[in-house]
Amino acid sequence: MIALPYLRSLCIAARQFGAHLVEWIHKVQGARERYQARFDTRQARGLKLLREWLSPEQRTEFDAKGYFDVVGCDSGKRYRIHHGATTNVHEIGDNGLPLVGWCFLPEGPLVAGDVMLAQKIALETYEYSALAVANRFPTEFSRRDLPLNFAPT
Amino acid sequence: MATQIVMDHTGDTRHHFDANDREAVARAEERFRKLTGAGFTAAVRTATGDAALTRSFDPTAEETLFFPRLIGG
């Protein structure tokens, strides 16, 4: 008999807690969606800028294949820049196959499009200086399994 | 209108200025000095569409792109 009011209070408290929990979950979901929308916008801006600076041939290749080739200004070697921000640059051999990977990127939290554009300009205008700061990696360590979005923006 | 494009966490920030406006050009030149002084690389597009590095402010450049210094990944 004494426990009944307590039980009722407990039910009310549990219901209120549940309502607060649902409200909190909705807030978190909303914040997550807003963050994702901002992230998508930033990614799209980066890809738009990249496409503006690619040559017509590079743009066509990137849209079709998700990568584009550049020629190093110092060595004349060919490099393939894949969509991504790390481990995405491969030196291409005469047989058209990747020889070695070069990992370098601009400092700071930049989106993939910006990183690829900086890599392109660096290889096309100061190749050896760019490679001097880069780390080499075997091409099989590349992370080509990342989700891609090549849609023109 | 000339444009200075600075890569940043938002994707990029664009600063437009009128190359005939002396004050705007002075502000753009100051921005160029600050960014390159902070280690940013400045690049312009040539008439053929190729990218070229630039180490001095060119008020006639239609677009100047700035990106942070490169590091090994």
> Can you give the residue ranges of every domain in chain B?
2-67
Average pLDDT across each block of 10 residues of chain A; the chain has 153 residues. List them in order: 79 89 86 78 93 95 96 97 95 93 96 97 97 92 50 43
Query: Would you state the structure tokens that stand for residue B43, as one six-digit string?
Result: 């690049």
CA A26/CA A32 separation, integer angstroms:
10
Nearest CB neighbour to B70, from listed A45, A104, A111: A104
Q: Could you tell me if residue A145 is inside a domain?
A: no
Per-residue confidence band for B71, with pLDDT thresholds at 50, 70 and 90: very high
Residue A150: predicted pLDDT: 45
Domain spanning B2-67: CATH 3.10.20: yes
Q: What is the ipTM of this complex?
A: 0.94
Nearest CB neighbour to A55, from listed B8, B39, B49: B49
Residue with tokens 């300009």: A121
Q: Could you tell me if residue A47 is inside a domain?
A: yes
Residue A151: predicted pLDDT: 44
b/e per residue, B5-37, with b = 16+ CB within 10 A?
bbbbebbbeeeebeeeeeebbeebeebbeebbe
**B63 → chain A, closest CA residue:** A53
DSSP letter, residue A34 = H
Q: Could you tell me if residue A151 is inside a domain?
A: no
CA B43/CA B41 separation, integer angstroms:
7
A107–B70 CB contact, under 8 Å? yes
Tell me the one-letter amino acid at B58.
D
Domain that holds residue A2: 1-140
User: What are φ and ψ of residue B18, in 5° steps?
Assistant: -90, 120
A29, A38, A49, A137, B57 from A153: Cα distances, Å: 27, 15, 9, 31, 30
**Stated pTM of the model:** 0.81
Residue A37: predicted pLDDT: 75
Q: Could you tell me if residue A152 is inside a domain?
A: no
Q: Which chain B residues are Cβ-neighbours of A103 within 8 angstroms?
A: 72-73
Q: Count the domains in chain A.
A: 1
